[in-house]
Amino acid sequence: MKNRLRITLLAFALISPAFVPAYAHDTACQTEDGVAKQQVQQAIDTWIDAVNSRQSEAVASLYEENAVLLPTLSPKVANTPLLRKGYFDKFTAHPGLIGMVNEEHIRIYGDIAINSGLYTFTYDKDGQTVIVPARFSFVYHKTPQGWMIIDHHSSKLPVE
Q: What domains does the chain contain, in order, with CATH numbers?
A: 29-156 (3.10.450.50)
Residues belonging to the chain: 160
pLDDT at 30: 55
Compare 25 and 2 and report the one with higher pLDDT.
2
CB atoms within 10 A of CB 55: 14
Single-letter amino acid code for the residue at 57: E
> pLDDT-based confidence at 14, cuts 50/70/90?
very low
pLDDT in tens, 102-150: 999 999 999 999 999 999 999 999 999 999 999 999 999 999 999 999 9
Give the distance from CA 143 to its chain's centroid: 15
Is this model's pTM higher than 0.85 or not? no
Q: Residue 18 pLDDT more than 70?
A: no
To the nearest whole percent, how much of the chain has pLDDT over 70? 81
Single-letter amino acid code for the residue at 158: P
CA dist 47 and 30 (Å) reads 25
Q: Residue 22 pLDDT more than 70?
A: no
Q: Residue 33 pLDDT more than 90?
A: no
- Residues near 118 by beta carbon (within 8 Å), at least 6 away in sequence: 101, 102, 103, 104, 133, 134, 135, 136, 157
Nearest alpha-carbon partner for 77 in 68, 85, 86? 68
CA dist 98 and 87 (Å) reads 16
